[in-house]
Chains A and B, each alone.
Chain A
Amino acid sequence: MAWVFIEEAETGPAAVGLEILTKAREFGSPTVIYFGAGSEAAFATLGEYGADRVFHLAPTEGSTGIAAAAAAIAGLASEHNPDVILFGQTYTDRDVAGRLSSRIGKTIISNGIDVAIDGGVGVTTELFGGTQLVTTMFEGDGPHLVLLRPKSFPAEPSGGAAPTVTTVALPDTGHAGAARVVGNFVEESQGPKLEEAAVIVAGGRGLGSAEAFGLVERLAAPLKAATGATRAIVDAGWVPYAKQVGQTGKTVKPDVYIACGISGAMQHLVGMKDSKIIIAINKDEEAPIFGVADLGVVGDVHQVLPKLIEALENR
């Protein structure tokens, strides 16, 4: 029996949660731990993706609710004994899973791209930029805790009915639960979302300057593409973190990924190497990005991009 932890995003259950819920159906009727304000519509969506039962944990106003959620899940798990509790490799999921792990004395396997329950619980992870696949088995009794990377499974509705929802009170965890949210800031973003776009144009340090990211944006416009970035230029402050693709950013699988001035470090490759078609522009013939590109153009982005933009704008 698998449980799936799902955080509430702006518009209902987080996308990665529905991906994992789809996968969890292979192990019987899944139970969802839903973390957020909750609504009839959100619970109906969970049912549509196969949740049979939902434990609803709603953080109190102002509190992050993380320590309390971990304590509540520990209580539920000792009562119901799930084999595994699956989480997404995301910020809040990592926070809750980490605390839960210590609380129930069970380790976590992170960065999973697949999970199997077959006698024991096995998790597949990628190593060395996705060139090696590692299978790790848990030892001892469950519940075993697994963090799975976004986009590891497609999210597909099963057409299930509304689930049984039980609201679970969040316990007082004293000092451990003292983190409070006192403000929030949302960066402006226009155009298609990175995770959903069919085409992504991404830029790296090879652009040379923050201003030159404008070339990436101008190329994205006629392609209705989302724009992405490497960590190097996010850390340099050229673009916001929300655009970062890779191990510590987003995982994307568009139809076409155009990498401009990106070297192809393994931490970047793990986030985009499963794109259908990869096109790379880099002035260094030896750049590792060419090892995964379907089309590589050895050239200067300041030469190639303006001509490419012009050609597309004139179509």
Chain B
Amino acid sequence: MKVAVCVKQIPDPASPYELDPSTHNLVRPNEQVLDDTDRYGVEVGLQIAGDTEGTVTLISMGPSGNLNGIRQALAMGADGAILIDDEALKGSDSLTTARILAAAIATESFDIVIAGTESTDGYSGILPQQLAELLDVPALTYAKKIDVDGSTVRINRQTTTGFDTVEAPTPVVVSVTAGVVEPRYPTFKGIMDAKKKPVDTRTVSDLGVDIKVDQRIVMVVPAPSRSGGEVVIDEGDGHQKIVAMLEQAKVI
């Protein structure tokens, strides 16, 4: 199977995020990391490709920076990457992002396109579905388990009360939740190999997509904040404070 995995480089979540004061776009440093939730999609892709003698191509949109995040996914074992990096894509809305990724994916015929259910920094949570419609294929979403049986892909789709088992024939888009598989850690050899793997960088005009951003941030204000109350150190009597608070709240 030919597998595409959509991945994203994001600013390290461990460092505080900043907005550009004039555009309100997230400031993206040169050194970015692989979105942690994408490691699950990469792992699923590698397992499917491993079982079917297939390949895994990473598809990503955003500023390349030093490619650290892409190299992290290549080091896990992906074969190569297509990266769409273009100034014109700054501040893209969700549909523009989906169009760009779909155009890059459509240049090769993939059997399975995998994506996380939402990114850590933007979390709009609708990209896989937008992508599926643009590619005119079914979407198997919120997979917490995935099996490939010939040309049928079957998943357990997370629901609020449990899961549904849903299946569709390839080509198909699959969105995976964190926890679907245990992502592998890159080996030393994987890290060395990743430096030599092909990263094909494209621009918007290479893909022939018209960009039209249909939304504009007009205001960013601090939210009315909730301030912390009393903090006490437990010296064997912490529970009494809690009982008093529950009484005051009239829940006991």
Contact = CB atoms under 8 A, between A and B. Distances in A.
Interface of A: 10, 64, 66-67, 70, 89-91, 94-95, 97-103, 105-111, 122, 126-128, 130-140, 147, 174-187, 189, 198-199, 222-223, 231, 234-235, 237, 240-242, 247-248, 250, 255-256, 258, 273, 276-277, 279, 281, 285, 290-300, 303-305, 307-308, 311-312, 315
Interface of B: 17, 19, 24, 93-96, 98, 117-118, 123-134, 136-142, 144, 154, 156-169, 178-179, 212-223, 225-234, 236, 238-243, 245-246, 249, 251-252
B233 A99 contact: no
A179 B138 contact: yes
20 contacts: A99-B130, A101-B130, A107-B213, A132-B220, A132-B221, A134-B217, A178-B168, A179-B168, A185-B163, A240-B162, A255-B251, A258-B242, A277-B249, A294-B230, A294-B245, A296-B229, A297-B239, A298-B238, A303-B234, A312-B246
A292 B228 contact: yes
Chain B binding surface SS class:
mixed
Given A66-B139, A182-B167, A134 B24 contact: yes
B228 A291 contact: yes
A99 B129 contact: yes
A273 B137 CA distance: 39
A182 B155 CA distance: 10
Nearest to B160: A242
Given A186-B161, A198-B251, A107 B215 contact: yes
B218 A132 contact: no
B127 A297 contact: no
B217 A135 contact: yes
Contact of B246 (A182, A223, A290): A223
A227 to B, nearest CB: 15
The 5 closest A-B CB pairs, nearest first, are A98-B129, A299-B234, A183-B165, A102-B133, A296-B231
B243 A91 contact: no
A102 B130 contact: yes
Contacts of A292: 226, 228
A175 to B, nearest CB: 6
Contact of A308 (B162, B214, B242): B242
B166 to A, nearest CB: 5
Given A70-B133, A147-B124, A307-B239, 19 more contacts: A91-B142, A97-B129, A98-B132, A103-B133, A107-B213, A108-B94, A130-B223, A175-B137, A175-B169, A179-B139, A179-B166, A180-B167, A180-B168, A185-B162, A241-B158, A295-B242, A296-B230, A298-B231, A299-B238
B123 A110 contact: yes
A239 B242 CA distance: 25
Contacts of B132: 98-99, 176
A279 B245 contact: yes
A180 B166 contact: yes
B108 to A, nearest CB: 18
B95 A108 contact: yes
A89 B218 CA distance: 22
A126 B222 CA distance: 10
B234 A98 contact: no
Given A108-B124, A132-B223, A297 B218 contact: no
Nearest to A249: B160
